[in-house]
Amino acid sequence: MQLKIYLPKPVMMVMALIFCLSSLRGTAQKLKLNKLGYFETPGVNVLVFSNQYNGIFQDEKTAGVELIHHGVRTITGGAVRLQNTPEQWDLVPTLVNRKVDSVNHQIDVTMRYADYDFDSRITVTPKGNGVELNLYLDKPVPEKLAGRAGFNLEIIPSAYFEKTFLIDGKPGEFPLYPAGLTKMLPSSQKIPQFAGHSTFDDRGRNEFIEPAPLATGKTLVMAPEDPERTIKIQSFDADLKLFDGRSLAQNGWFIVRSLLPAGKTGKVLTWYIEPNAVPGWKRAPVIEFSQVGYRPEQQKTAVIELDKNDTPLQTATLFEITPDGKYVERLKAAVQHWGQFTRYNYLKFDFSSVKKAGLYVIAYGDQKTNAFPINANVYENIGHPTMDVWFPVQMDHMMVNEAYRVWHGAPFLDDALQAPPNHQHFDTYQMGPTTDTKYKPLERIPGLNVGGWFDAGDFDIETPSHCSVVLNFVEAWENFKIDRDETYVDYPTRYVDIHRPDGKPDLLQQIEHGTLNLVAQVVNIGHPARGIIVPNLHQYHHLGDAVNETDNLPYNASLKPYQTDGKSSGTMDDRWAFTTRNIALDYQATAALAAASRALKGYNDTLSAKSLQSALKLWHEDDSLKMHMDSAARARNRFLAGNEMLAALQLYITTKDQQYADHFKKLIMPMLDRFPGFVMISALHAYPYMDKDYQDKIAAYMQKYKASCDEYDKQNPYGVPVTPGGWGGSGQVINYAITNYYANKYFPNIIGPEYVYKGLNYIFGCHPYSNLSFVSAVGVRSKKVTYGNNRADFRFIAGGVVPGILLLKPDFPENKEDWPFFWGENEVTIAGCAQYIVLSGAANQLGQHN
């Protein structure tokens, strides 16, 4: 007799799933060391210090041992660290050396903490279906670091939200919001942060927060229910502790950590790390195209990004969506093989022949895009969110309201204190040996609490960026006559209301707002300040309403901290003005002020006159200052010639005084020979104002310039400058497109409009990694998670332009949409957004002169 056991259907399904997953995982391929110096199998890449800590902002979460798991970077920061949950400004190790041993299939890395004379070495080798990591010490952990130094792996929380873990078989879940236990310890036990700064406002109590672990054990399995995110970590020497770094900082990560033993040398720690690899995994193709759409007459090319193990299909198809919701095939065509760029292979699908206005979808195999338009007016509204919303939200010293929402109160009415000499700020600002002003260190400089914009996701006034914004806004006003009115600005009450017309062009109001602060600096300081920024690190990382970053009361040294008389405060939270004079900055401000004086004439004549007066003052003073520059000053002024050239051009356009034109031509011609791509836009800005001899010389450069543009078609499938580094390249692409707009305007037979459209397409979605528009709220699908002052809410500010693709070494392009805290990918800046406004005007004008 056969015994039959009947199980409930859900139980049978779960058992079948477990059997299926275990079978799949049992056939996973072994990791191998590839020619690019990292371990690889389909679905899993383990990088070992391919990317290093750069030291500028300490920990950018792009260094150490890292994991790219089924196409997504989920782990970073694998290194010896000195805290359970390191914050951005905690110390990071310096890479002493990195050796890739292709014979023994091993990567060796030596790290050093110079402040503690502490070296450690890790080796990573393939083992089983993962890697073994061994940590060696030649000398014991220094006494000051005993019980503090440990090996950490940092796991991006967004990849494990709504997922579970098992630690020594005990279940747990990754918290969506930090809710773990913490304890307070005396500050004497805290490892000092960068340059002695502190991210924690302890209100004078001399203590700090230390998070407790969420779980402890020897074997951790993360996301066992999700084959694409399952990772097993085993420690053979010490406990694994799982922490949530978000208890200290919203940009913190989940951390797996083992403490290093005290008093031991040699091999002191061994971990086995096994990321699950789904057998035969291939990244799904990404169809990259413009989310804004296309004009009927323009070239229309989608780029299809393929896993390197994927077999290309032969064709792609364009469907029109009819009013009754049907998909009608309009074009089926062969795709062109472009080749490999970074780690992916690329195909191109040209559908330029389709010119009918309508809504369309591109299909490639099983992949299908969202709908996008082809229409003559697709660029008509692309600048509106940036001018209507993003720039008003960035307005400093004003309360900003939008319908039922208050973005922020009127902040920094206590501006500003004189920064002390010889001070190195954590955000790269620094003071020289003197203040270069009439003010004593920490004395209040009056008159600075007017105008200006928050620079980016933080709340400083970054004067070079301000100058750039004013110059771009004047360019947009003079060349494209953008006269939209959707913002109410009232200075007597320091009030701004979004979506509320007030009868004044918004662009002029923004030029006015930036110029007010630049003039205030020249009048009250004597020259432009490098920047105005909070002095304390615990203020700097402020998220939320800017009005709360200071108490808005001027500092009064006669009062105690947190004491106030109602008019002033004993709390030194006022922003500092970094006033070391920089002639290159003087010239940049001269250019901005000279340009602003033109735009404001007839709108705010008083400010227009002050602006030109300030520009001329700086120009004449700098002529004298240049003659007495020492080597240190020349090093600080490495951008001197370029900014001097800009100042001369703007003064000439404003005053029509020939001496400035002659000076401009004297400077730009040698620079065109040395840096044609860098200064071509300035050469073209000057073109309509200069004589025929100048214009003929510029014409002679255009064929050479065109050839340099065509080189991009060979470098990448997008035909634009895709730049490496710690900051995405959207700004370079926008500058490229604007330059080509003017080149097309003056030399249409050499530079066609497609050189502009390539840049527009890239910004709006035809770029690596995804097909999202890099301008929030512009295009059908766009960035909804950005690094703005509301980033802790995982949200965006409409119209913000993100830096875009970060190219991580050796071959990984990335732009996170589920984690806003990568500033190099997602931080929106005033300079980038103002430049984009120029591009929006150029895009709308492009169809009119072609």
What is the model's pLDDT at position 754? 97
Please give the single-letter amino acid code of residue 680: M
Average pLDDT on 282-304 reads: 98
Instruction: Tell whether the model's pLDDT for residue 13 goes beyond 90.
Output: no
Average pLDDT on 764-770 reads: 98
Classify 648 as helix, strand or coil. Answer: helix
Return all residues near 426 (Cβ < 8 A) that are at least 6 apart: 89, 194, 195, 197, 537, 540
Write the pLDDT tens digit of every residue in 718-741. Answer: 999 998 888 999 999 999 999 999
Write the pLDDT tens digit of every residue in 412-425. Answer: 999 999 999 999 89
What is the model's pLDDT at position 719? 98
Write the pLDDT tens digit of every residue in 454-490. Answer: 999 999 999 999 999 999 999 999 999 999 999 999 9
Distance of CA 817 to the CA centre of its chain: 12
> From CA 664, how far away is CA 670, in angstroms rounded?
11
Write the burial class of residue 556 (CB in 10 Å: 0-12 exposed, 13-18 middle, 19+ buried): middle
Run of H or E including 508:
helix 506-524
Write the pLDDT tens digit of every residue in 647-662. Answer: 999 999 999 999 999 9
Average pLDDT on 334-352 reads: 98
Average pLDDT on 319-332 reads: 97
Q: Where are the alpha helices (H) located in 605-717, listed in sequence order? A: 605-626, 631-636, 640-655, 658-674, 676-686, 692-715
Return all residues near 524 (Cβ < 8 A) that are at least 6 apart: 445, 446, 447, 448
Confidence of residue 24 (pLDDT cuts 50, 70, 90): very low
Instruction: Tell whether the model's pLDDT for residue 629 goes beyond 80.
Output: no
What is the model's pLDDT at position 10? 38
What is the model's pLDDT at position 37? 97
What is the model's pLDDT at position 18? 43
Confidence of residue 9 (pLDDT cuts 50, 70, 90): very low
Instruction: Tell whether the model's pLDDT for residue 637 goes beyond 90.
Output: no
Instruction: Tell whether the model's pLDDT for residue 635 goes beyond 80.
Output: no
Q: Pick from 798, 812, 838, 828: which is nearest to 730 by CA?
A: 828
Confidence of residue 8 (pLDDT cuts 50, 70, 90): very low
Write the pLDDT tens digit of every residue in 769-793. Answer: 999 999 999 999 999 999 999 999 9
> From CA 367, how far away is CA 211, in angstroms rounded?
44
Instruction: Tell whether the model's pLDDT for residue 277 goes beyond 60.
Output: yes
Write the pLDDT tens digit of every residue in 430-462. Answer: 999 999 999 999 999 999 999 999 999 999 999
Write the pLDDT tens digit of every residue in 128-166. Answer: 999 999 999 999 999 999 999 999 999 999 999 999 999
Instruction: Tell whether the model's pLDDT for residue 622 goes beyond 50.
Output: yes
**Count of beta carbons in the 10 Å neighbourhood of residue 382:** 24
Q: Pick from 574, 314, 477: which is nearest to 834 by CA?
A: 477
Q: Pick from 583, 613, 593: which is nearest to 515 by CA?
A: 593
Write the pLDDT tens digit of every residue in 510-538. Answer: 999 999 999 999 999 999 999 999 999 99
Classify 836 as helix, strand or coil. Answer: helix
Average pLDDT along the chain: 93
Classify 569 as helix, strand or coil. Answer: strand
What is the model's pLDDT at position 3? 35
Instruction: Tell whether the model's pLDDT for residue 391 goes beyond 50.
Output: yes
Return all residues near 706 (Cβ < 8 A) that are at least 6 apart: 750, 751
What is the model's pLDDT at position 6? 39
Instruction: Tell whether the model's pLDDT for residue 4 goes beyond 60.
Output: no
Write the burial class of residue 370 (CB in 10 Å: 0-12 exposed, 13-18 middle, 19+ buried): middle
**Count of beta carbons in the 10 Å neighbourhood of residue 319:** 20
What is the model's pLDDT at position 725? 83
What one-character DSSP code corresponds to residue 370?
Answer: P
> From CA 89, how far away is CA 79, in angstroms rounded?
16
Write the burial class of residue 778 (CB in 10 Å: 0-12 exposed, 13-18 middle, 19+ buried): buried
What is the model's pLDDT at position 22? 46
Return all residues near 11 (Cβ < 8 A) that are at least 6 apart: none
CA distances from 7 to 21, 667, 752 (A): 20, 85, 70
Would you state the structure tokens that stand for residue 127, as one six-digit string?
A: 């083992």
Would you state the structure tokens that stand for residue 745, as one six-digit string?
A: 């305007």
Confidence of residue 675 (pLDDT cuts 50, 70, 90): confident
Write the pLDDT tens digit of every residue in 362-371. Answer: 999 999 999 9
Share of the chain above pLDDT 70, in %: 95
Write the pLDDT tens digit of every residue in 64-110. Answer: 999 999 999 999 999 999 999 999 889 999 999 999 999 999 999 99
What is the model's pLDDT at position 301? 98
